[in-house]
């Protein structure tokens, strides 16, 4: 081996780490020297020639002749192999959104989940224990995707208020679905002109499958979430009553009847109309009782006709204000609205973001609602969109029907970000994500805002970074809030 080349080799590595703090630099140099010696490759300090060596390493195409002479050498493959541990995966998608810094080499990480040449699907799943930073990360991701022009829709079943400040900062629409709120988009409104969302993407003639029929089947699922053990006869009664109810507004199975002569949607029925139809027939009176809550009962505000404009490109659907017994129908209500918006998006790229996924598809959910959410996550890819979901409590996530729905969503999310969690929880997903024992231990030691990004077999630890503006809008830290209340003093 030509020992003259050693300075060059050393400088190369020195430059890689020069941005690090001196302690890390010292550690890495020592480690480098140890490895070099082990591979019979000697690294020597570049004393008194640092400046020339540094300038030679800059991409200026000008190498100091003395350094060049010393750097010339043949490199045996064993020497190159010695440098291997310092080569790490860089995540730098052109046109992607900024995530933070790669903790292995401090390179900025950019991710473009819409690049389907690179990612078989851009769906993303975030897991972590309470306080690990899931909501914070979702907020940042949504805000950054919106800044790139994407349409962003959130479904938030718990702590929806955490999404409000950024939503308002972005000029978005924050809708709180709760019995006391008037923010509920009409669940009976039909918002799609055709079921064939794929036709417009491929410039094909639209199929004429009835939008009304599909709406009716979804309304029956929504109804069944409030009345268990619905018999087949009752389902038929409901179906018939809905056909009649929409018929009063001139809407039939023919999609052309959905709109008026100007192409605008006709006035749509509200829950009170459905209630009246059920109530006027003695055979279906007992079914009307369930809807009474939305007509004359405590949730009457939810059933009222309103004029909410859903054209905003950043919408938060917060269902956390629903009482326990209305949680599931409330979530289904929000999912139904989100589904319509995404299916209508056409060629516009969209992102559906759902926090606290366990409450949608986990142990306390219901197979019908869980199946609907899972279907949505799967179909969104075909429309060029992505779904980003997050959850804590792996036990809960896999608690319904043997974990079928939780696993289904995990399988259809190519990109996974695992934030800090307890070892026991991490072991539950170790096999699904091909995590090594070392990585499981690494996950337990992550700090808030840090996560292991897994894309297939590439696993990169990332420290998520937020701008000051984002941080101030998103943070839920009680210390931050106390400081703010006290005008700067903790």
Ligand X SMILES: Nc1ncnc2c1ncn2[C@@H]1O[C@H](COP(=O)(O)OP(=O)(O)OP(=O)(O)O)[C@@H](O)[C@H]1O
Total site size for ligand X, rule CB under 6 A: 18
Q: Kindly state the smallest distance separating residue 129's Cβ from ligand X, in Å.
A: 7
Nearer to ligand X, 188 or 452 (CB): 452
Q: Kindly state the smallest distance separating residue 135's Cβ from ligand X, in Å.
A: 3
Binding partner of residue 131 among ligand X, Mg ion, none, CB cut-off 5 to 8 Å per kind: ligand X
Q: Which range in 45-53, 79-87, 379-387, 471-479 contacts ligand X by CB under 6 A?
A: 471-479
C-alpha 41/C-alpha 57 separation (Å) is 20
Binding partner of residue 127 among ligand X, Mg ion, none, CB cut-off 5 to 8 Å per kind: none
Q: Please state whether beta strands 350-354 and 386-391 pair in parallel, antiparallel, or not at all (unpaired).
A: parallel
Q: Kindly state the smallest distance separating residue 427's Cβ from ligand X, in Å.
A: 19
Q: Which of 142, 330, 449, 461 binds ligand X (CB under 6 A)?
A: 449
Q: Kindly state the smallest distance separating residue 455's Cβ from Mg ion, in Å.
A: 23
Nearer to ligand X, 266 or 484 (CB): 484
Q: Which of 456, 477, 481, 482 binds ligand X (CB under 6 A)?
A: 477
Residue 464 contacts ligand X per CB under 6 A: yes
Binding partner of residue 372 among ligand X, Mg ion, none, CB cut-off 5 to 8 Å per kind: none
Nearer to Mg ion, 138 or 271 (CB): 138
Nearer to ligand X, 158 or 218 (CB): 158
Nearer to ligand X, 156 or 225 (CB): 156
| Window 117-136: contact mask with Mg ion (x via CB under 5 A) | ------------------x-
Q: Which range in 24-32, 238-246, 288-296, 463-471 contacts ligand X by CB under 6 A?
A: 463-471
Residues 385-444 that bind ligand X (CB under 6 A): 392
Nearer to ligand X, 46 or 466 (CB): 466
SS (H, E, C) the chain: CCHHHHHHHHHHHHHHHCCCCHHHHHHHHHHHHHHHHHCCCCCCCCCCCHHHHHHHHCCCCCCCHHHHHHHCCCCCHHHHHHCHHHCCCCCECCCCEEEEEECCCCCEEEECCCCCCCCCCCCEEEECCCCCCHHHHHHHHHHHHHHCCCEEEEEECCCHHHHHHHHHHCCCEEEECCCCCCCCCCCCCCCCCCCCHHHHHCCCCCCCCCHHHHHHHHHHHHHHCCCCCCCHHHHHHHHHHHHHHHHHCCCCCCHHHHECCCCCECCCCCHHHHHHHHHHCCCCHHHHHHHHHHHCCCCHHHHCCCCCCCCCCEEEEECCCCCHHHHHHHHHHHHHHHHHHHHCCCCCCEEEEECCCHHHHCCCCCHHHHHHHHHHHHHHHHHCCEEEEEECCHHHHCCCHHHHHHHHHHHCCCEEEEECCCHHHHHHHHCCCCCCHHHHHHHHHCCCCEEEEEECCEEEEEEECCCHHHHHHHCCCHHHHHHHHCCCCC
Q: Which range in 72-80, 142-150, 314-322, 468-476 contacts ligand X by CB under 6 A?
A: 468-476
Q: Kindly state the smallest distance separating residue 133's Cβ from ligand X, in Å.
A: 3
Residues 118-157 that bind ligand X (CB under 6 A): 128, 130-136
Nearer to Mg ion, 269 or 393 (CB): 393
Tokens encoding 48: 């008194």
CA distance readout (Å), 454 to 119, 407, 439: 12, 16, 11
Nearer to Mg ion, 135 or 224 (CB): 135
Nearer to ligand X, 53 or 126 (CB): 126
Nearer to Mg ion, 135 or 344 (CB): 135
Closest chain position to ligand X (CB): 449
Binding partner of residue 102 among ligand X, Mg ion, none, CB cut-off 5 to 8 Å per kind: none
Q: Kindly state the smallest distance separating residue 98's Cβ from ligand X, in Å.
A: 12
Nearer to ligand X, 401 or 470 (CB): 470
Residue 113 contacts ligand X per CB under 6 A: no
C-alpha 30/C-alpha 3 separation (Å) is 19
Total site size for Mg ion, rule CB under 5 A: 1
Starting at the edge strand found earlier in the chain, the sheet holding 458-464 runs: 108-111, 97-102, 458-464, 450-455, 415-419, 124-127, 386-391, 350-354, 151-156, 314-318, 173-176
Binding partner of residue 136 among ligand X, Mg ion, none, CB cut-off 5 to 8 Å per kind: ligand X
Q: Kindly state the smallest distance separating residue 19's Cβ from ligand X, in Å.
A: 20
Q: Which of 187, 225, 343, 466 binds ligand X (CB under 6 A)?
A: 466
Positions touching ligand X (CB under 6 A) are 128, 130-136, 392, 448-449, 464, 466, 471, 475-477, 480
Positions touching Mg ion (CB under 5 A) are 135
């Amino acid at each position: 081996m030509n020992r003259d080349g050693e300075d060059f080799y050393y400088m190369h590595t020195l430059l890689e780490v020069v941005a690090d703090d001196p302690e890390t630099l010292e550690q890495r140099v020592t480690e480098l020297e140890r490895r070099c010696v082990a591979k019979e490759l000697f690294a020597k300090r570049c004393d008194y020639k640092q400046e020339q060596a540094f300038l030679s390493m800059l991409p200026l195409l000008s190498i100091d002749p003395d350094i060049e002479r010393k750097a010339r050498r043949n490199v045996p493959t064993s020497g190159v192999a010695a440098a291997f541990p310092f080569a790490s995966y860089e995540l730098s998608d052109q046109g992607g959104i900024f995530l933070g810094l790669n903790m292995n080499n401090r390179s900025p990480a950019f991710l473009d989940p819409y690049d389907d040449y690179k990612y078989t699907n851009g769906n993303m799943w975030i897991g972590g224990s309470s306080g690990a930073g899931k909501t914070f990360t979702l907020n940042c991701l949504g805000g950054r995707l919106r800044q790139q022009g994407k349409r962003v829709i959130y479904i938030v079943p718990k702590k929806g208020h955490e999404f409000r400040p950024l939503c308002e900062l972005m000029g978005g629409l924050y809708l709180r679905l709760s019995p006391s709120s008037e923010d509920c988009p009409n669940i009976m409104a039909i918002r799609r002109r055709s079921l064939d969302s794929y036709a417009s993407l491929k410039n094909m003639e639209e199929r004429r499958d009835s939008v009304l029929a599909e709406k009716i089947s979804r309304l029956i699922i929504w109804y069944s979430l409030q009345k268990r053990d619905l018999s087949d006869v009752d389902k038929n009664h409901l179906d018939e009553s809905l056909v009649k109810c929409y018929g009063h507004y001139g809407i039939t199975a023919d999609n052309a009847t959905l709109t008026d002569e100007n192409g605008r949607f006709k006035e749509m029925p509200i829950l009170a109309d459905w209630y009246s139809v059920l109530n006027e027939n003695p055979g279906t009176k007992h079914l009307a009782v369930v809807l009474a809550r939305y007509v004359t009962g405590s949730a009457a505000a939810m059933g009222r006709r309103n004029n909410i404009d859903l054209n905003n490109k950043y919408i938060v659907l917060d269902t956390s204000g629903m009482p326990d017994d209305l949680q599931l129908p409330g979530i289904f209500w929000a999912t139904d609205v989100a589904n319509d918006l995404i299916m209508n998006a056409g060629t516009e790229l969209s992102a559906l973001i759902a926090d606290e996924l366990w409450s949608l598809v986990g142990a306390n959910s219901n197979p019908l609602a869980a199946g609907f959410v899972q279907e949505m996550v799967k179909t969104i890819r075909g429309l060029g969109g992505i779904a980003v979901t997050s959850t804590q409590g792996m036990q809960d996530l896999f608690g319904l029907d043997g974990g079928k729905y939780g696993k289904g969503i995990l399988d259809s999310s190519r990109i996974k970000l695992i934030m800090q969690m307890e070892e026991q929880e991490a072991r539950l997903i170790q096999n699904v994500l091909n995590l090594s024992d070392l990585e499981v231990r690494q996950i337990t030691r992550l700090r808030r805002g840090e996560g292991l990004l897994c894309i297939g077999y590439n696993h990169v630890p990332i420290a998520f970074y937020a701008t000051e503006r984002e941080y101030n809008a998103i943070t839920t830290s009680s210390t931050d809030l106390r400081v703010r209340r006290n005008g700067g003093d903790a």
